[in-house]
Amino acid sequence: MRGALALMELAERVNLPVDQLTELLATLQAQPTVVRERFRRRFVEAGLVQQRDAYDAEQHGGDDGEGLGQ
């Protein structure tokens, strides 16, 4: 039951239907360990970038300071 709930939450977070996410995860599981780990690392990094961008937008009103002084 917890696995199904976690899958539904993840599907919502990545904006994919549950069946499509299930298929993607099954495909990932069939890959060699090195490929799975690389994908997981990139997935987590992308999530952290998204969190940082949301934090920056909240703290600075969306102005990340890029382009200043140019």
pLDDT band at 70 (very low <50, low <70, confident <90, very high): very low
Separation of alpha carbons 67 and 70, rounded Å: 6
- Residues 41/28, Cβ–Cβ less than 8 Å: no
Here the tokens at position 66 are: 């890029």
pLDDT for 9-59, tens place per residue?
989 988 899 999 999 999 999 999 999 999 989 988 988 998 999 999 999
Domain ranges of the chain: 1-30, 32-62
